[in-house]
Amino acid sequence: MINKDPWRVKLTVAGVYGRVARSAAEKSAAGAPGCCCRPPEDLRGVPAEAVASFRGCGDPVAVADLRPGQVVLDLGSGGGLDAILAARQVGAAGAVYGLDLSDEMTRLARRNALAAGAKNAAFIRGDLEAIPLRDGSVDVIISNCVINLTPDKVQALVEAFRVLKPGGRLAVSDIVVDPDLAGLPVGEWVIRSALSWAGCIAGALTSGQYRGFLEAAGFEAVKIRINYRYSPLDLQAEMPAVLRRLPAHVLEDLAGRFASATITACKPL
């Protein structure tokens, strides 16, 4: 992994997603389509700004097995899309907390939840590495392409374990490197330094690291399912010149090692 100043990373991420939040109203007013990995029927009644600000890579709500009355924490809740969908599933007897590093995203999520009628959803500005909730206060944690954005992923997963109730579940969509970045003509440090951290790529864990960090935090029954492997076209927006110069077959191999994945785990009873 590359060694980046944690505060600089956090400031960069907050700044990038603050701009996403500010542009969401303009995009939704223009009718710009949102790519949010959701069937259209799930989006009925969801504000257009929640869709326009979405930057996830999967659908953790679909695999979280949410039930009425549960308490859910959405790590990196962004414009509130996943939190709103989760709030529908847990119902009035349940609650959803959205945690995000960006002031602008937090304000946007609150507006979107109000417009969607999700009265059981609350949004907090905060850091995944210091979750402002009590020990054992959450039934389920969801997250969508956000854990990779935090510099200290070990601490973020330790915090997630802390706030979960015994028997609680973690359901995450994230980008992983699978299996690793070894054996390429460009070193891992060069690859990661050239890619964007805020795009959830440069800070991506390998699938082995993700499993190891979860187990070290105390989680069990860890499962990692690869859903989609990237192509060079998927990385085009972030591709710097040093990588574009690679032969086509090498570039395809490199891109294919980045994948969207579903990661689930449990806290022991």
d(Cα 76, Cα 186) in Å, to the nearest integer?
A: 32
The pTM of the whole model exceeds 0.85: yes
* Residue 201: predicted pLDDT: 84
Does residue 154 register a pLDDT over 80? yes
The pLDDT-based confidence of 33 (bands split at 50, 70, 90) is very low
Amino acid 104 reads: E
Residue 132 lies in a domain: yes
User: Is residue 1 included in any domain, yes or no?
Assistant: no
How far apart are alpha carbons 18 and 246 in whole angstroms? 33
Mean pLDDT of the chain: 91
| Domain encompassing residue 22 | 6-266
CA distance 254 to 5: 26
Exposed, middle or buried: residue 167 (CB in 10 Å: 0-12, 13-18, 19+)? exposed
Q: What is the mean pLDDT of residues 98-111?
A: 96
Total of domains in the chain: 1
pLDDT over threshold 60, residue 30: no
Residue 244 or residue 204, greater confidence: 204
**CATH number of the domain to which 210 belongs:** 3.40.50.150
The answer to whether position 165 is within a domain reads yes
- Check pLDDT > 50 for residue 32: no
Taking 70 as the threshold, does the pLDDT of residue 257 lie above it? Answer: yes
Helices 103-116, 6-29: crossing angle, 10 deg rounding: 40
Residue-level pLDDT at 41: 83
13 lies in a domain? yes
